[in-house]
Amino acid sequence: MFYEDLSPYAYTDDGDVFYDPTDVMRFVAFRPDYARLNIGWLDGDRRWPRGPVPEAFGDRLQAVLGAQQVNVMMGLHDCDLCPTAIPDSHPWYEPLPGHRCASAGTGEIHVPGPSGTVFAAPRLIGHYVADHGYLPPRAFVDAVLAFDPYGSWPARFPAIRFPWIPADAELRHVDDL
Ligand SMILES: [Zn+2]
């Protein structure tokens, strides 16, 4: 799945679903009133920018990955950049030897950007940055550094680490569907 960095997000038209990472049976689903921009939807057949990232960016990116579960319903993706596939005997969520992050992932992270925009990145972005040297656009690096997923915005859903949830959104449980 390839999308150009900073292109309008088009993976799903079904709105955004943020799961509660402490109990992924609970979620908030809504149609966003912010514009979503793609980041890090890389493909092994296309070039992508490489370079060192600030250490603080890598740390904060991992914090966001630990805090958010977004749009996880879309299936498991294996890294297309790795030269070899994950062996069947290896748990997909464990990094391969020599890697810092797992080379398969499901779902996304969403990071508030400037003026009503949100950067939508696959969870594999942690692996792309840490293990393949992917250098995301500066606007995304800045947005991640500015976003504290454990920040003190007025959170109606304390375990859902995203500040721009519409006022009419409700916390639901998969058993209620
Ligand atoms: Zn990889």
Q: Please answer whether residues 91 and 119 qualify as being in contact, where contact means their C-beta atoms are separated by less than 8 angstroms.
A: no
- Is the predicted pLDDT of residue 74 greater than 70, yes or no? no
How far is the centre of ligand 1, averaged over its atoms, from the C-alpha of 136 (Å)?
Answer: 15
Q: What is residue 156's predicted lDDT score, i.e. its pLDDT?
A: 87
- Is the predicted pLDDT of residue 173 greater than 80, yes or no? yes
How far is the centre of ligand 1, averaged over its atoms, from the C-alpha of 83 (Å)?
Answer: 8
How far is the centre of ligand 1, averaged over its atoms, from the C-alpha of 50 (Å)?
Answer: 14
Q: Please answer whether residues 104 and 80 qualify as being in contact, where contact means their C-beta atoms are separated by less than 8 angstroms.
A: no
pLDDT digits (tens, 9 = 90+) for 115-168: 999 999 999 999 999 999 999 999 999 999 999 999 888 778 989 999 999 999
Q: What is residue 12's predicted lDDT score, i.e. its pLDDT?
A: 76
Q: Which residue is listed with tokens 């959104």?
A: 169
Q: What percent of the chain has pLDDT over 90?
A: 82
Burial class, 151, CB count within 10 angstroms (exposed 0-12 / middle 13-18 / buried 19+): exposed
| 99-109 mean pLDDT | 94
Q: Tell me how many degrees the CA angle 4-46-50 measures, rounded to the nearest 5.
A: 80
> What is the DSSP track for the chain?
--B-TTSBP-S-SS-EEEEETTEEEEEEEE--SSEEEE--B--TTS---B----HHHHHHHHHHHHH-EESGGG-EEE-SSSSSPPPTTS-TTSPPTT-SS-SEEESEEEEE-STTEEEEEETTHHHHHHHH-B---HHHHHHHHH--TT--S--SSTTS--S---TT--EEEGGG-
pTM of this structure: 0.94
Q: What is residue 54's predicted lDDT score, i.e. its pLDDT?
A: 95
How far is the centre of ligand 1, averaged over its atoms, from the C-alpha of 4 (Å)?
Answer: 18
- Is the predicted pLDDT of residue 7 greater than 90, yes or no? yes
How far is the centre of ligand 1, averaged over its atoms, from the C-alpha of 73 (Å)?
Answer: 21
Q: What percent of the chain has pLDDT over 70?
A: 99
- Is the predicted pLDDT of residue 73 greater than 80, yes or no? no
How far is the centre of ligand 1, averaged over its atoms, from the C-alpha of 1 (Å)?
Answer: 14
Any idea which of 57-66, 106-115, 168-177 has the lowest mean pLDDT?
168-177
